[in-house]
């Protein structure tokens, strides 16, 4: 019997042993100095809880809603590019785990398994994340494909019109996906279980792009296309056009500024995600949890406000919820699980997070996630926590 999995860190360490270094680094890294990547976690950890006692904490519930959809806890699996390189058929496995657990899975535009693959193998109901490309006809095609497989929610990422410089990706040779270097081959050789699984998998390219974007039929085509296809001209008029095209719920991801949050509401967003792309874009940007309270205040009840960045535990989910986030997107936390144990690892990551969320909520004297507010936090650990406003009911 192996060592029990007790926390997300256990899954991270196991994933590091099982996934080739270049793909592990792709998920577990930030841009430039990685200062914002580290700050996302550190600033969450600085927030302290008020422990309460002699409160009836029987009959607890972490169930909530995200955009009206019932969820087992206020969490969704964030879109992660090339998830299928963490584990064969990774997007399908993650979608299955999320569906079984009762939380949404968001499929990335840059996934290995395409929209139709995931719908066929994991079932409908997952959400889709869109990057806007220079080829706007292709973007419209992606929207139509997402609607055709009954995705109820579109997550439009706004903070990747340019790619932040990620030193690890450059060193690992991931800037050119069309060829394998000797270093990459050696990394793969050290992970024979991973390599055998990938060899057997039918999913080997970027399933939403290859054979769909104009002129993109091979990985060599893909390398040329990916380097110049992200559109730095994306603006709010483009977002408004996507709002018009998309018939379901629209989430705008990558908001760090209160003024941008207000613009997102004006353009028709149903929800926004306070996010710095996991510290992978602008190094030196504000930690997501620090940016959250001002954005919650700016938006009010006009749209749901979620956050991502640094969530590694159910305690972090509770901290975000206490500071006004309706929900959280988790990325690396479930990616570690996928790399470590496939679908079972994603399910284990979700169980770990819900257990931590449930227990911490109880220690703070709450039995229902809907009753959580800033009063469960000690003042002084965060600029958004200045006073306590209520006692447990």
Q: Which residues are catalytic?
A: 277
Please tell me whether 100 is known to bind a ligand: no
Please tell me whether 332 is known to bind a ligand: yes
Question: What residues are paired with 335 via a beta bridge?
Answer: none
Please tell me whether 248 is known to bind a ligand: no
What is the token pair recorded at 340?
């470590």
CB-based burial label for 228 (10 Å; 0-12, 13-18, 19+): exposed
Please tell me whether 17 is known to bind a ligand: no
Who's near 340: CB < 8 A, 6+ residues apart? 11, 12, 14, 15, 18
Please tell me whether 79 is known to bind a ligand: yes
Q: What is the 3-state secondary structure (H, E, C) of 180-221?
A: CCHHHHHHHHCCHHHHHHHHHCCCCCCCCCCCCCCCCCCHHH
Please tell me whether 308 is known to bind a ligand: yes
CA gap 234, 290 in Å, rounded: 26
Please tell me whether 277 is known to bind a ligand: yes
Please tell me whether 374 is known to bind a ligand: no
Please tell me whether 295 is known to bind a ligand: no
Please tell me whether 109 is known to bind a ligand: no
CA gap 42, 77 in Å, rounded: 21
Please tell me whether 129 is known to bind a ligand: yes
CA gap 316, 289 in Å, rounded: 9
CA gap 251, 274 in Å, rounded: 11
Please tell me whether 166 is known to bind a ligand: yes
CA gap 132, 230 in Å, rounded: 7
Query: Which residues are documented as binding site?
Result: 26, 79-81, 108, 129, 131, 157, 166, 253, 275, 277, 280, 308-312, 331-332
Query: Which residues are documented as binding site for FMN?
Result: 79-81, 108, 129, 157, 253, 275, 308-312, 331-332
Query: Which residues are documented as binding site for glyoxylate?
Result: 26, 131, 166, 277, 280
């Amino acid at each position: 019997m192996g060592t029990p999995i007790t926390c997300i860190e256990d899954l991270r360490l196991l994933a590091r042993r099982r996934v080739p270094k270049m793909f592990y680094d792709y998920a577990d890294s930030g841009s430039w100095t990685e200062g914002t990547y580290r700050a996302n976690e550190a600033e969450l950890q600085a927030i302290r809880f008020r422990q309460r006692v002699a409160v009836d904490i029987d009959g607890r519930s972490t169930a909530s809603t995200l955009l009206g959809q019932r969820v087992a806890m206020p969490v969704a699996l964030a879109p992660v590019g090339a998830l299928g390189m963490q584990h064969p058929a990774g997007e399908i496995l993650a979608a299955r785990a999320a569906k079984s657990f009762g939380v949404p899975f968001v499929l990335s535009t840059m996934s290995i398994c395409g929209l139709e693959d995931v719908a066929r193998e994991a079932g409908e109901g997952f959400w889709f994340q869109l990057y806007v490309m220079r080829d706007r006809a292709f973007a419209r095609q992606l929207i139509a494909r997402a609607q055709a497989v009954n995705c109820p929610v579109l997550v439009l990422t706004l903070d990747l019109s340019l790619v932040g410089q990620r030193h690890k990706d450059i060193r690992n040779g991931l800037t050119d996906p069309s060829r394998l270097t000797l270093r990459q081959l050696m990394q793969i050789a050290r992970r024979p279980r991973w390599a055998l699984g990938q060899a057997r998998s039918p999913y080997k390219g970027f399933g939403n792009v290859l054979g769909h974007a104009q002129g993109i039929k091979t990985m060599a085509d893909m390398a040329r296309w990916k380097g110049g296809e992200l559109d730095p001209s994306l603006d709010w008029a483009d977002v408004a056009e996507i709002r018009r095209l998309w018939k379901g719920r629209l989430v705008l991801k990558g908001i760090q500024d209160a003024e941008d949050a207000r613009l997102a509401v004006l353009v028709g967003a149903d929800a926004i995600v306070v996010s710095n792309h996991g510290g992978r874009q602008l190094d030196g940007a504000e930690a997501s949890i620090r940016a959250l309270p001002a954005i919650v205040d700016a938006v009010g009840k006009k749209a749901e406000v979620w956050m991502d960045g640094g969530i590694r535990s159910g305690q972090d989910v509770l901290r975000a919820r206490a500071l006004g986030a309706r929900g959280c997107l988790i990325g690396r936390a479930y990616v570690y699980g996928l790399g470590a144990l496939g679908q079972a690892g994603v399910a284990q990551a979700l169980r770990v997070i819900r257990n931590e969320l449930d227990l911490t909520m109880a220690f703070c004297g709450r039995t229902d996630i809907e009753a959580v507010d800033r009063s469960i936090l000690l003042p002084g650990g965060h600029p958004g926590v200045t006073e306590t406003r209520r006692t447990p009911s």
